[in-house]
Amino acid sequence: MARKSVRFELTEEEGSTLKMWVGSHRMEQRYRRRAQVILLSARGLTLKEIVAGSGLGETNCLKWRKRFLQQRLDGLRDRPRKGRPPSITPWQRAQVIRLACERPFTGANAWSRRELARVSGLGSTTVHRILEGASLKPHKVHHWCAKSRDPEFGPKQTAIIGLYLNPPENALVFSVDEKSQIQALDRTQPELPLRPGNPRRPTATYTRHGTTCLLAALSVHEGTVEGRCVDGNNRHVFLAFLKGLYRSHPHKDLHVIVDNLPLHKHPEVKEWVARRRRLTLHFTPTYASWLNQIEIWFRIFSRDVVKGGVWHSKQELVDQIMLHIKRYNRDRAHPFTWTYTGKVLVA
């Protein structure tokens, strides 16, 4: 025998709340179904129709309808269940969170889950749950750019970005810097090559064949790179590199962007630059060498050449660096696109 329908009225607030539950994708499925039972019941549908519309069985439909009639919306929520009381006290949870947010007193730079568990006296899994519940990840580090203390940050930044976005006519803009201490590392045993299922496998032991320093100049609006490898860098080497750059472009005004390395500001360098009508040096603000676009290219260079390299001599390293620059200029060189759309940085 079919059960009779039960019709009842919903207040405006109850109706809008139940409809919100049904339509929300963030609401848990069980609450969405319970709300659907009440909305269908309020329309005077039979139990069979409510079962078909809500996806719940007859017993559950009757249960939630009865609970709603007795307690209204509060009756649709789960009641507290019996069971063992929580073994972790709020104080212990707060202690773990406090420790995770402080610098470790163990001599390490960051807390590990195991070390937090040892210090707090809790299990490693429990500590993991506490950290996860508080969205704490002591093992992760995100760097950010602090404000430069340079009193001339604004004018220097404006000048450099102006050169990037709107260079003067008949001028070349070069971003110049050094990458020092590039080690020519050799492995003590032949490297096991790449195989299906196996990565490259160099030995952990190595031999040093010396170091080289790469001076590089990125032509900002062409994307090409001019480079020179030297044994070491000082004001004489840097000045020789500038002179070579100056002679290579005899009919152009040169704007050269460098950071605040002392040798870039050496009186001998400044004196030579001051006598050159076509050459202007631009210094990045203090602690803002990230404004220099050559840093982007150095990251590409480190990834493609330095990382995982094996060289049997320093000359082999130098040859590979110069070959990389030659191939980069031929096949890959392009201006870096300015994509920053955030807040304007000010001192």
The whole-number pLDDT of residue 346 equals: 55
Per-residue pLDDT tens over the stretch 233-280:
999 999 999 999 999 999 899 999 999 999 999 999 999 999 999 999
Q: Which of 221, 214, 216, 274 is nearest to 245 (CA)?
A: 216
Report how far residue 79's alpha carbon sits from residue 149's, in angstroms, rounded to the nearest whole number: 58
CATH architecture of 153-191+202-332: 2-Layer Sandwich (3.30)
Query: How do the domains of the chain map onto residue ranges?
Result: 12-76, 90-133, 153-191+202-332
User: pTM to 2 decimals?
Assistant: 0.67
| Residues 6+ positions from 243 with CB-CB distance below 8 Å | 272
The answer to whether residues 291 and 165 touch, using CB atoms and an 8 Å cutoff, is no
Q: List 280's β-bridge partners, or say none.
A: 255
The whole-number pLDDT of residue 73 equals: 84
* DSSP states along 236-286: HHHHHHHHHHHHH-TTSEEEEEE---GGGG-HHHHHHHHT-TTEEEEEPPT
The whole-number pLDDT of residue 219 equals: 96
The whole-number pLDDT of residue 1 equals: 45
Specify the residue for token string 């990840």: 137
Parts of the chain with a pLDDT under 50? 1, 347
Specify the residue for token string 């040169």: 254
The answer to whether residues 310 and 203 touch, using CB atoms and an 8 Å cutoff, is no
Specify the residue for token string 């003067």: 168
Report how far residue 259's alpha carbon sits from residue 230's, in angstroms, rounded to the nearest whole number: 19
The whole-number pLDDT of residue 320 equals: 96
Across the chain, how many H-helices and E-strands are there? Answer: 12, 5
